[in-house]
Amino acid sequence: MPILQSLLYFVLAGLCEIGGGYLIWLWLREGQGWPVAAIGWLLLSIYGVIPTLQPANFGRVYAAYGGVFIVLSLLWGWRIDGVQPDAYDWIGCIFVIAGVIIKCQEGRR
């Protein structure tokens, strides 16, 4: 159960960070109103809190989260922006996830 809970925290943090950043992008680059920016700021603040729920230390959590963030960003771009990943994107994701798995296993020793 701890692995699933940790994965859930990574995904929630990623969605808050990417979603919040995307809303700020819409506000600044595409002229959306201040409510869009306010929701973006709120999501980014929540993103800052979620990783503190992880049991590992800061460096280990953020190192593993970086890989999850890359994959989520690729999926976000595909779903929201309509940019289909190519073979190099998928190969990069495989390497990144391998790194996340290695980093997470390191914490279990």
Q: Please state the pTM of the whole predicted model.
A: 0.82
Structure-block tokens of residue 58: 């800061």
Q: For the segment 27-47, what is each residue's pLDDT rounded down to a tens digit?
A: 999 999 999 999 999 999 999
**Cα 45 to chain centroid, rounded:** 14
Tell me, what's the pLDDT at 40?
Answer: 98
CA dist list (Å): 58 to 4, 14, 50, 51, 70: 19, 16, 12, 8, 18
Tell me, what's the pLDDT at 65?
Answer: 87
Structure-block tokens of residue 75: 């999926």
User: Distance (Å, rounded) from C-alpha 65 to C-alpha 15?
Assistant: 12
User: Distance (Å, rounded) from C-alpha 89 to C-alpha 87?
Assistant: 5
